[in-house]
Structure 1
Amino acid sequence: MTDERHANRGLPTKDLHGPEHDLERRKRILRTARITLIAIGVILCLGLLRILVLYLLNISSLADRAEQNNVMYVQVVSASSGKPDANMTLPSTVESYNVTLVYARTPGYVKEWFKDIGTPVKQGDVLAILETPELNKQVEEAQATFNLSKVVYERWKLLRQEDAVSQQELDEKTSAYKQATANFQRIKELLKFGKIVAPFDGIVSRRNVNVGDLVNSGNGGSAQALFGVSQLKNLHTYVYVPQTRSGSVTIGQEVKIFKPEAPDKIVKGKIAHTAGVIDVGTRTLQVDIRIPDEQSFFLPGSFVEVSLPLDNQDRLVLPTNTLMFGSAGPQVAVVQEGKALRKSVSLGVNYGRSIEITGGLEAGEQVIVNPVDSIANGQLVSVVVPAPPVETAKPATQSPK
């Protein structure tokens, strides 16, 4: 039955199960395996290539991100010359040319006082009267001594005319008489100091006594001032100009004087005198500024600020928020070719929000505003231009119907 099936197909049985048939079969199997291995190798290579490409892309992205994170975004200002009309403002105190404390010239008790604080006085007006019981006793004693020495002198003078005493004895009595006279006059003059009077026209600025107070003479030890008297005219003020700006001060120069609480009320004064020398302790020049008498805004003792005009054309000025202070002294950070560079600078006059730079910086350099203390040389920086302020729209107003 098998032979019939093979016979029908035209294939002999020996051809179906011979060595040639097995060889062909192995070749097909090897070819299939080779193709499979090649396909697997290609897939592995493609996978490795993909991993390598992703790795390289990731490294490049990380490098770009690290470079972006390392860049510091900053705002800058240009170092420029100061304005010609720059002013230097210095603190000061209004003073009177004539101001004094009045002391007692003799000890005693306050019997009565007549002038209180704020009272205008004229020269010679009585401020208070003292009771001086001890001094009164001294006057009585001095007068008794004077009367006795006078009688003795006149008696010995008559005796000398009769040649009853020697000239030496008369001279001694004469000297005693003169000493008693001088002492009596001195004690009587001290009695006048029982009246405390104003030394000049002005106003009473202080009263430190009451009725019954015991006062001592002089201004040393336990003595205390009885009154203070000041003039409301002839006011002036002292300012101390730094040595670097002393060349800008000239006698007769006009300055502006104002109170910090009222900067819009300005009184114009003039420089009357300068010390002419630099104080070795403070390295400043003392300047005396006269305040006009017609003003009534300033009182003696007022704290004021004086604005002096300065020639500031050739001096660099920077905002104070560009400075860094450390062990190396004052420094600024400038931008050069996209990198930060720290520079040490020398400072001049401080104008408040700005300060003068006297050395270490060139005009036109870009200086970083509000630099961090940790900024280092070579730090990558990117200059950011601040956006202009946005104007808010005003609500439309409706016209009244």
Structure 2
Amino acid sequence: MIRTNNNIPVLFAAILLAGCGVSQSKPDNRPAEETVAANAVSTFALKKDVLSATLRMPGELIAFQQVDLYAKVNSFVKKLYVDVGSTVKAGQLLATMEAPELNAQLAGAESRLHSQEAVYLASKANYDRLYQTSQTPGTVSRNDLDLAYAKQQSDFAQQESAKAAYREIADTRNYLEIRAPFEGVISSRNVSAGAYVGPSGKGSEFPLFSLQQQKKLRLVVSIPEAYTAYLAEKKAVSFTIRSMGGKEFTAVIDRLSGALDSRLRSQRVEMDVDNSNKALLPGMVAEVSIPLNNRDSVFVVPSTAVVSSTEKVFVVRVNNGAAEWVEVRKGREAEGKAEIFGDLYAGDILVEKANDEIRNGSKIAQKK
């Protein structure tokens, strides 16, 4: 006989009730004032200030003057007087060339000049005699006197032409001497004695010499368009050279190009650097620090007060206890501060650490 246990349903219900715990949340007994204080934000009063920022840009040192020297005429190098690294003065002889055909041309031009001079002297003497004779009426016709005068003028013009031809060849022969146009250092030499040289592309692929003025250098920097408004001539800058252990040098802005490079959208800025001791070399890369001080005061806020969201750039202003998003345009940033421009007024209360979780129009509490 099978017996049925009537206590099984009761036991099953007890187990089920034991497994299902009943949870009760504890009430928040904190005062409402403490809850508001915990959610309060730090604020500050907006005011104008002058933001002192420094722009760091790479720059390049180049020679103040640099020139490649070519031979003016096709010729052969006769003698070189300088080499790479030679310091030369303005007008100093660097090399001499030889071109025998020029000497022959000069001799021929000189002979033609002497011939024309003799012809002119003869026609001038003939005119002078006819003129003296014509003072006696009826001795010389007016037509003969005019012809003699025209012959004299023609011979004079031929003489001047011969002089010009002679000077041209003489000046060309002077080009056989290569002289330094300014004081500097020979940075390269590409020929040796006996080499055939000539103008660029007509005998010489490379220049005879490259001359650089190194006692004064140019520091060249390309400044992006966003910072060109803060540049001014005679503004002091500093720069360092990494290869010299970060030694700091100073200079002033001497020249602004006044136009933006169409490719880089930047302005070329040049500074003259005294290099009398020749410690700096053309081609060195410098890290330039340019102060960007604004002429007028603007609104300056902590960088954390500016929110750059996907919608817009804004700050959170406290207006009658509510958050108000005010769209702004950000200027420069430096040392945790930023310039802002927008519909703001001095004395406005802004949230110091703003974010887009503080919704526009939501209630906001300020920390005391």
TM-score by length of 1: 0.60
The question of 1:135 aligning with 2:102 is answered yes
Determine the C-alpha separation between the residues in 2 that align with 1:131 and 1:157: 40
Runs of at least 5 residues in structure 2 that lack an aligned partner in the other structure: 24-47, 131-143, 314-326, 343-349, 360-368
1:151 aligns with 2:118: yes
Match of residue 155, structure 2, among 173, 190, 193: 173
Deviation, 1:222, is 5.8
Return the alpha-carbon distance in structure 2 between the equivalents of residues 248 and 139 of structure 1. 61
Q: Does residue 365 of structure 1 match 2:348?
A: no
Aligned match of 2:168: 186
AA at the equivalent of 1:314: V
Residue 120 of structure 1 corresponds to which residue in structure 2? 87
Unaligned runs of 5+ in 1: 1-28, 58-80, 332-343, 368-377, 379-401
Q: 2:68 aligns with which of 72, 91, 101?
A: 101
User: Which amino acid in structure 2 is aligned with residue 279 of structure 1?
Assistant: L
In the TM superposition, what is the alpha-carbon distance from 1:294 to its structure 2 partner? 4.9
Distance 2:311 2:94 in 1: 58
CA distance 1:101–1:82, shift in 2 (3 Å): farther
SS of 1:233 mapped into structure 2: strand
How far apart in 2 are the matches of 1:350 and 1:47? 68
Determine the structure 1 residue equivalent to 2:254: 272
Aligned AA (1:365)? K
Task: Name the aligned partner's letter for residue 42 of structure 1.
Answer: V
List per-residue Cα deviations over 1:141-162 (Å, max 9, x = no partner): 2123222222322233334345
Among 269, 282, 285, which residue is 1:287 paired with? 269
For 1:246-395, list aligned pairs within 5 A: 246-262=228-244, 264-275=246-257, 277-279=258-260, 281=262, 282-294=264-276, 296-311=278-293, 314=300, 364-365=352-353
Deviation at 1:296, TM superposition (A): 3.8
Distance 1:94 1:297 in 2: 12
Q: 2:11 aligns with which of 43, 57, 63?
A: 43
Shift of 1:306: 1.0
Inter-partner Cα distance in structure 1 for 2:301 and 2:266: 20
Shift of 1:84: 5.3
Q: CA deviation at 1:302?
A: 1.6
Q: CA deviation at 1:262?
A: 3.8
| Cα distance in 1, alignment partners of residues 175 and 261 from structure 2 | 43
Separation in structure 2 between the aligned mates of residue 220 and residue 84 of structure 1, nearest angstrom: 59
Structure 1's 280 and 234: CA in aligned 2 closer, same or farther, altered over 3 A? closer
Q: Which has the higher strand share?
A: 2
Query: How far did residue 47 of structure 1 move?
Result: 4.7
* Residue identity in the other structure for 1:214: Y
Contact 1:92–1:306 (CA under 8 A) maintained in structure 2: yes
Overall identity of the aligned pairs, in %: 23
Q: What SS is found at the alignment partner of 2:72? A: coil
8 Å contact from structure 2 (residues 237, 289) kept in 1? yes
**Between Structure 1 and Structure 2, how many residues are aligned?**
293
Query: Deviation at 1:174?
Result: 1.9
Contact 2:300 2:340 in 1 (8 A): no
Cα distance in 1 between the residues matched to 2:49 and 2:281: 35
Contact 2:62 2:283 in 1 (8 A): yes
SS in 2 for 1:45: helix
Tell me how far apart the structure 1 counterparts of residues 312 and 97 of structure 2 sit (CA, whole Å): 63
CA distance in 1, matches of 2:164, 2:351: 79
Structure 1 window deviating more from structure 2 (220-229 vs 140-149): it is 220-229
- Per the TM alignment, residue 264 of structure 1 is displaced from its structure 2 partner at its CA by 3.2
Higher helix residue share: 1
Distance of aligned partners of 1:206 and 1:354 in 2 relative to their CA distance in 1, 3 Å threshold: farther
Q: Give the counterpart of 1:215 among 177, 192, 197.
A: 197
Helix, strand or coil at the partner of 1:116: coil
Q: Tell me the equivalent position of 2:185.
A: 203
Per mean C-alpha deviation after superposition, the further-off stretch among 234-243 and 174-183 is 234-243
Quote how far apart the aligned CAs of 1:283 are.
Answer: 4.1
Give the superposed CA RMSD: 4.4
Asked whether the equivalents of residues 316 and 358 of structure 1 are also in contact (C-alpha less than 8 Å), the reply is: no
